[in-house]
């Protein structure tokens, strides 16, 4: 399977690029943010407990997210590959993901790290807050908290994968198509090995 992690801070463009990548490479798009928002909309017990964390700009507890991802991997084991978007967000989640994938002998092939500086991120998130309807986007204090949590809890995930030489940096500022092309170049290098 072609299993790829799209990594980067909130506002780096993971959602936008994921949509284009899954279409081109026929991958399953596994966005924990989207899955959690669906649980909230359906008012499930998981959604109700996750909502408070998300609205506050905090991470949902690892065991909740890992359980949700485990089900999705099982359901999509027949797929050509999975594009992970917004997951793993902690080293604990990364270790759990590696374990889940090792049971299926289908490891993460590459971690594509979208590089965007903080000024640009804040600008983008303020703009997104005007239209997205997401409580965590609309409030500047919560946006700042999300960037702090990213640095403290999520950035170490790139070090975790760095030790296995899986991380590739991709410039995340430019046109959507230019960034998409850079990501495709990297995926094409591994997809040949997977075929």
Q: Rule CB under 6 A: say whether 60 interacts with ligand ADP.
A: yes
Q: Report yes or no: 122 and 189 within 8 Å, Cβ to Cβ.
A: no
- Our answer to whether residue 145 is catalytic in this structure is yes
- Residue in 65, 94, 114, 183 binding ligand ADP, rule: CB under 6 A: 65
**Contact call for residues 30 and 85 (beta carbons, < 8 A):** yes
Q: Least separation, in Å, of the C-beta of 7 and ligand ADP? A: 10
Please report whether residue 167 would count as binding ligand ADP according to CB under 6 A.
no
Strand blocks (E) in the chain: 4-7, 28-31, 82-85, 110-115, 167-171
By CB under 6 A, tell whether 70 contacts ligand ADP. Answer: no
d(CA 41, CA 61): 19
| Nearest of 179, 1, 126 to residue 76 by alpha carbon | 1
Applying CB under 6 A, does 89 fall inside the site for ligand ADP?
yes
Residues 6+ apart with CB under 8 A from 42: none
The yes or no reply on residue 21 touching ligand ADP (CB under 6 A) is: no
**CA nearest to 172, candidates 11, 5, 4:** 11
- Cross-strand bridge partners of residue 170: 114
Contact between 7 and ligand ADP by CB under 6 A: the answer reads no
Which CB sits closer to ligand ADP, 43 or 185? Answer: 43
Q: Which of 6, 30, 81, 136 binds ligand ADP (CB under 6 A)?
A: 136
- Residue 6 interacting with ligand ADP (CB under 6 A): no
Q: Which residues bind ligand ADP (CB under 6 A)?
A: 10, 14-15, 32-33, 36, 53-54, 57-60, 65, 86-87, 89, 93, 136, 146
């Amino acid at each position: 399977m072609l299993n790829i992690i799209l990594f980067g801070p909130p506002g780096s463009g993971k959602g936008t690029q994921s949509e284009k990548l899954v279409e081109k490479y026929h991958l399953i798009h596994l966005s924990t943010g989207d899955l959690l928002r669906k649980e909230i909309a359906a008012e499930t017990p998981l959604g109700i407990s996750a909502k408070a964390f998300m609205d506050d700009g905090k991470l949902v507890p690892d065991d909740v997210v890992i359980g949700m991802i485990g089900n999705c991997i099982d359901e999509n084991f027949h797929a050509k590959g999975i594009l992970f978007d917004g997951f793993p967000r902690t080293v604990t989640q990364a270790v759990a993901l590696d374990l889940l994938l090792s049971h299926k002998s289908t490891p993460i092939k590459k971690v594509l790290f979208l590089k965007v500086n903080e000024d640009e991120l804040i600008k983008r998130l303020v703009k997104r807050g005007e239209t997205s309807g997401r409580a965590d986007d609309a409030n500047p204090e919560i946006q700042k908290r999300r960037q702090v949590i990213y640095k403290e809890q999520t950035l170490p995930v790139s070090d975790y994968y760095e030790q296995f030489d899986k991380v590739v940096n991709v410039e995340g500022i430019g046109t959507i198509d230019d960034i998409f092309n850079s990501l495709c170049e990297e995926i094409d290098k591994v997809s040949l090995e997977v075929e």
